[in-house]
Amino acid sequence: MSTPDSRPLEDTTIGIFLAPAGTEEVEFIESRDAVTDAGATVDVLGSESGEGQTVNNDLEESERYEVDRTFDEASADDYDALVVPGGTVGADTLRTDADGVELLQEHLTDGKPAGVICHGPWTLIEADAVEGRTLTSYHSLESDIRNAGGEWVDEEVVVDDGLVTSRNPDDLEAFCETIVDEFAARTS
C-alpha cells in the first residue's frame, strides 16, 4: 500500500512534447517516467499523428514513440502541466509549430507549471514566455533568452513561478525531481 506522498501527481494530467524527429530520447523518457511514476496520466503531444523519432546526442537515431494527440487536438484546459524536452533538431522543429507554441503560451498564461530542458526554451521564446523570467538552458541559447527579455543563469535547475528549466541531460536527475515537486505543489 502506498503512502499519500508516494504518488504526488495522482489525478494530474501532463502533456509532454515530442517532435516528429530530433527530440533527445533521454530527456523525453526520463521526464515522462518521472511524472508517470509519481502518478500522473501522460499524453505525448506532437505536430502530427503517428510516431516521433527520438535521437541520442542529437545525431544518432534512437527509438520511436507514439503521439497520443496532436497539438491542434489539444487544449491548455486538458493539462495540469506540460514538459518540453530538448534535442537541437526537435526543439527547432517544435518552435516552428504554431499549434504547439500556442498551446504552451496559453498554458503558461493560465498560470500552469511547465518543465523545459536543454534546447526546449526555444519554444518558450516563440511563445513570448521568457520576458522578465530567470531560466537556464543549453548554453548556446543564452543570447536567445537574453534577447527575448529573460535572465539566463548557468545552474542545474531553475524554478521561476512554476517554470522549471535545466541545461542538458546531465541535469536530468535534478530536473525530474523538481518538476514532480513543482507540479505537485501547483496542482494539488
Give me 158's grid cell. 531553475
Whether pLDDT at 2 is above 80: no
* pLDDT value at residue 1: 35
Residue 92 lies in a domain: yes
Residue 7 lies in a domain: no
**CA neighbor of 87 nearest in space, from 42, 56, 111, 115:** 56
Residue ranges making up the domain that contains 148: 12-187
How far is Cα 176 from Cα 115, in angstroms, rounded to an integer? 9
Q: What is the pLDDT of residues 121-170, one digit of tens each?
A: 999 999 999 999 999 999 999 999 999 999 999 999 999 999 999 999 99
Q: What is the set of active-site residues?
A: 118-119
Could you give phi then psi for residue 79, rounded to 5 degrees?
-130, 140
- Which residues are bridge partners to 172 per DSSP? none
Residue 54 lies in a domain: yes
- Residue 121 and residue 137 in contact, taking contact as beta carbons nearer than 8 Å: yes
* Mean pLDDT, the chain, whole residue set: 96
Alpha-carbon distance values, 169 to 32, 33, 106, 127 (Å): 14, 14, 27, 23
Under the banding of pLDDT at 50, 70 and 90, the label for residue 3 is: very low
Residue 4 lies in a domain: no
- Residue 125 and residue 105 in contact, taking contact as beta carbons nearer than 8 Å: no
Q: What is the pLDDT of residues 73-108, one digit of tens each?
A: 999 999 999 999 999 999 999 999 999 999 999 999
Give me 88's grid cell. 537541437
For residue 154, give the CATH number of its domain: 3.40.50.880
Residue 164 lies in a domain: yes
Percentage of the residues of the chain whose pLDDT score is greater than 70: 97
Q: How many domains does the chain have?
A: 1
Residue 3 lies in a domain: no
Residue 5 lies in a domain: no
